[in-house]
Amino acid sequence: MGIYLNPGNTGFARVLNSQIYVDKTGILGYLNSVIDTEQCYVCVSRPRRFGKSITAEMITAYYGAGCDSTGLFRGLKISANPGFTRHLNQYNVIYADMNDFRNKSLMDGQGHTKAMESICLFQKEIIRELRKQFPNQIEEGEYGLPSALTQIYQKSGVQFIIILDEWDAVFREDKMEIEAQEAYINLLRGLFKSANSRKFIKLAYLTGILPIKKYGTQSALNNFDEFTMVMPEPLEEYVGFTEKEVMALYEEYGLEYGKAKYWYDGYVFGDGIHVFNPKSVVDSIRRNRFASYWTRTETYESLKGYINIDFSGLRETVVCMIAGGRCKVNPDKFQNDITTFHDRDDILTLLIHLGYLAYDFEAKEAYIPNEEVKGEFRNAVEGSRWDIVGKLIEESEKLLQATWRLDCEAVAEGLDRVHMENTSILSYHDENSLSCVVSLAYYSAVREYVLFREMPAGKGYADIVFLPKQHSVKPAMVVELKWDASVEGAVSQMKEKQYGNNLKNYTGKILLVGVNYDKKTKNHQCLIEEMEKTGQK
């Protein structure tokens, strides 16, 4: 058993010993189906703390020779797969976390950069273990890793499964080291895209945050099947925790699923498969509190740096998405690095891969997935002191005060101003775009309220609900939106369908706010009525 060659199963055993474990071994069934085929080159990219390393350790424990993982996988999903025992602990596995080599490497005294040294160290350490495991099969002298693996195959016919975790560390952490990046890509080509590598590779599994680097329009390793945050199918259920898995966890621990959905849901793939942030779900259960956990693993300065890049329309787009809007994005031009940005779409595509944005593949639109991430965006834009946000907060405070004092005319005028001042990013065409304007207009309401869109209420769905946060003395607000209709009809609908009376776990004053947009006059109308909810329902 080595450090990199057949490192054993202790990493995955540690995962299974944890308080909360969600069985994701089903992905091994997919890998079994592609092993030793033309589709054996797999690259899975996900945001940080979405379980990449856990999956890599699981794959290592399953395939790696030199240990017996039967007990670890007994009762897990993969154990029901027809090929379970045929592949279990049958292969020579090389498992490496590329960040480890970055952390170990120092200036070598020969003018090499840390990035270049980490690439050399990666090969040197693994070749040292290969020489021990396969004596007399690698000739004396200095060889790169592809050459060493080729020599072993030629003399013994041994093939390998190679698993590279954080494969993109050189591109993310050493973003200006172009020479080292090119050397690294050439190494990967030697390992995975050469005539010799076709002989010694049984399966290649790369995982990182970024998809494989592009040069022009083509991937540097175009023989890989890539599963990304833009298009993860058919492996979408392994991106994070699915809706079904999260519901089961919260039921087991007696926590409210609806709050988890509000805080951590929002990534939707394939045929409507909802995926939750696993780091945040686990921490919310362990701490018995809904809060921002994933965003605490990295400062908002990183996000702030990207959204402050001076591309036309970027700031306005971000503000619109904070308000609940969506924007069209073309992710295909992105070069899959964090230095080559040509326009707004490149920044937004990077944010999709980083997990700050979700992507609707059918609509080709990006959006902020949930409250946890939205809070990070608010911190970033307010910390940047954008003029557009400063003015928006000022207008929003006035609008809230007008709403609380039931000043319908002032509310309507406030909505008109927000619409007029943001026409470049807000195109009115239906109630959904009207909803975006209302959310934008009430931007600063997040201090006092939790905002819900399309919330089940009574005999229907309320368009927007503002529920006061704990200890807030402000009234709840239920907003019904109309398009070329009447505000009286909006308020009547809320009363008739008992929207206010059916706000769960809330008692006290409720403002029923009807908003209509008249296409002819291009003005908003507003009607506010007050009601009191007593008792629990």
**CATH number of the domain residue 416 falls in:** 3.40.1350
pLDDT at position 130 is 96
DSSP string, 378-416: HHHHHHTT-HHHHHHHHHHHHHHHHHHTT-HHHHHHHHH
Q: Which residue has the tokens 């995975």?
A: 192
**Selected residue with higher pLDDT from 384 and 82:** 82
Q: How many CB atoms lie within 10 A of CB 21?
A: 12
The residue-averaged pLDDT of 35-42 equals 97
Contact 519, 511 (CB under 8 A): no
Q: How confident is the model at residue 418 (pLDDT cuts 50, 70, 90)?
A: confident
Q: Map tokens 């495991």 to a residue.
A: 133
In a domain, 348, yes or no: yes
pLDDT at 109 over 50: no
Q: Are residues 512 and 523 in the same domain?
A: yes
Residue 276 lies in a domain: yes
* C-alpha span between 49 and 104 (Å, rounded): 22
pLDDT(25) > 60:
yes
Residues 195 and 109 in one domain: yes
Question: What is the torsion angle, in degrees rounded to the nearest 10, for the CA atoms of residue 342, residue 343, residue 345 and residue 351?
Answer: 80
- What letter does residue 78 receive in the DSSP assignment? G
407 and 450 both lie in a single domain: yes
Contact 272, 266 (CB under 8 A): no
Residues 256, 203 share a domain: no
Model pLDDT, residue 299? 57
459 pLDDT band (50/70/90 cuts)?
A: low
Are 42 and 187 in a shared domain?
yes
* pTM of the predicted protein model: 0.87
Span 83-107, mean pLDDT? Answer: 88
Whole-number pLDDT of residue 457: 64
User: What was the pLDDT predicted at 426?
Assistant: 58
Number of residues in the chain = 537
Rounded to an integer, the average pLDDT of 161-188 is 91
Specify whether the CB–CB gap between 204 and 192 falls below 8 A. Answer: yes
> What is the average per-residue pLDDT within 425-445?
75
Helix (H) or strand (E) holding 200: helix 197-200
* Range ranked top by mean pLDDT from 318-322, 424-428, 454-458: 318-322
Confidence of residue 220 (pLDDT cuts 50, 70, 90): confident
Greater model confidence, 87 or 470:
87
Dihedral sign, CA of 334, 337, 341, 347? positive
Average pLDDT, the chain: 89
- Residues 139 and 198 both lie in one domain: yes
Each residue's pLDDT tens digit, 296-345 = 767 567 888 888 887 888 888 898 888 888 889 999 988 888 888 889 99
Domain match, 119 and 182 both: yes
Cis peptide bond upstream of 234, omega within 30: yes
Decide if 3 is inside a domain.
no
Q: How much is the average pLDDT of 284-289?
A: 96
Peptide bond preceding 475 in cis form (omega within 30 of 0): no
pLDDT value at residue 119? 92
Instruction: Specify if 232 maps to a domain.
Output: no
**pLDDT (0 to 100) of residue 394:** 86
pLDDT, residue 537, reads: 44
pLDDT above 70 (res 404): yes
Domain termination site, one of 370, 385, 400: 385
Same domain, 185 and 245: no
Instruction: Please tell me the total count of domains within the chain.
Output: 3
pLDDT at 359: 96
Token pair for 69: 């993982």
Among the three residues 353, 385, 417, which one is the final residue of a domain in this structure?
A: 385
Instruction: Determine what percent of the chain is predicted with pLDDT higher than 90.
Output: 60
CA–CA dist 316, 370 (Å, integer)? 19
Residue 365: partners with Cβ closer than 8 Å, 6 or more residues away: 326, 327, 328, 329, 359
In 277-394, beta strands by DSSP E: 327-328, 358-360, 365-367
Residue 132 covered by a domain? yes
Give the domain range for residue 283. Answer: 240-385
- Counting runs of H as helices and runs of E as strands, what totals does the chain give? 22, 18
Task: Measure CA 132 to chain center.
Answer: 41
Question: Lowest-pLDDT range, 29-38, 76-85, 332-341?
Answer: 332-341
Residue 489's pLDDT is what?
A: 92
Tell me: pLDDT of 437 over 50.
yes
Does a structural domain hold residue 235?
Answer: no
Q: Are 160 and 260 found together in one domain?
A: no
Residues 327, 339, single domain; the answer is: yes
Question: How confident is the model over 230-243, as a mean pLDDT?
Answer: 96
Instruction: Using alpha carbons, select from 348, 355, 353 the residue that is nearest to residue 312.
Output: 348
Most confident listed range (66-80, 418-432, 452-466, 512-526): 66-80
Whole-number pLDDT of residue 107? 46
Residue 42 bridge partners (DSSP): 205, 225
45: number of Cβ within 10 Å: 24
Assess whether 150 and 245 both reside in one domain: no
Which ranges of 107-168 would DSSP assign to H, the alpha helix? 114-133, 145-156
Domain closes at, from 334, 355, 385: 385
- Write out the two tokens for 456: 């089940």
Q: Is the model's pLDDT at 362 over the cut of 80?
A: yes
Residue 216 has pLDDT above 60, yes or no: no
Contacts of 17 (CB under 8 A, 6+ apart): none
* Residue 489 forms part of a structural domain: yes
Secondary structure element (H or E) that encloses residue 376, with its range:
helix 371-383
Q: How many CB atoms lie within 10 A of CB 111?
A: 7
**CATH, residue 109:** 3.40.50
> What is the residue type of 436?
C
Phi, psi (degrees; rounded to nearest 5) at 393: -65, -40
pLDDT tops 90 at residue 127: yes
For position 108, what pLDDT does the model report? Answer: 46
Q: Within a domain: residue 1?
A: no
431: its two tokens: 């109630």
The verdict on 175 and 262 lying in the same domain is no
Q: Percent helix, strand, coil in the chain (nearest 5)? A: 45, 20, 35
Instruction: Go through 485-511 and write b for each residue having 16 or more CB atoms within 10 A of its CB, e for each that does not.
Output: bebeebbbbbeebebbbbbeebeebbb
Q: What are phi and psi of 66, to 5 degrees?
A: 90, 5
| Alpha-helical runs (H) found in 242-313 | 243-253, 257-264, 278-287, 300-307
> For the residues 226-240, what does the mean pLDDT come to?
96
- The answer for residues whose C-beta is within 8 angstroms of residue 405's C-beta and 6 or more apart is none
